């Protein structure tokens, strides 16, 4: 049986939802950064291949 009062679970749930949203935004930003780094790495590899010819 849950003995927590509605006054405690309401604000807690709101805080957790806020933190979850912040983590999701950060995750999306990291995914974008990862794609940028991968593209740069591919470009460097392509440029290195061209310079060897």
Tell me how far apart the alpha carbons of residues 51 and 53 are, in angstroms, rounded to a whole number: 5
The tens digit of pLDDT for each residue in 1-53 reads 555 555 567 999 999 999 999 999 999 999 999 999 999 999 999 998 876 55
Distance CA 42, CA 49 (A): 11
The overall longest dimension of the chain from CA atoms, in Å, is 73
* Chain center to CA of 48: 31
Spell out the SS3 assignment of 15-39: HHHHHHHHHHHHHHHHHHHHHHHHH
* pTM, full prediction: 0.65
């Amino acid at each position: 049986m849950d003995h927590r009062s509605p006054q405690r679970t309401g604000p807690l749930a709101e805080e957790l939802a806020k933190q979850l949203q912040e983590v999701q935004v950060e995750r999306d930003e990291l995914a974008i950064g990862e794609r940028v780094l991968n593209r740069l790495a591919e470009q460097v590899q392509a440029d290195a291949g061209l310079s060897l010819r």
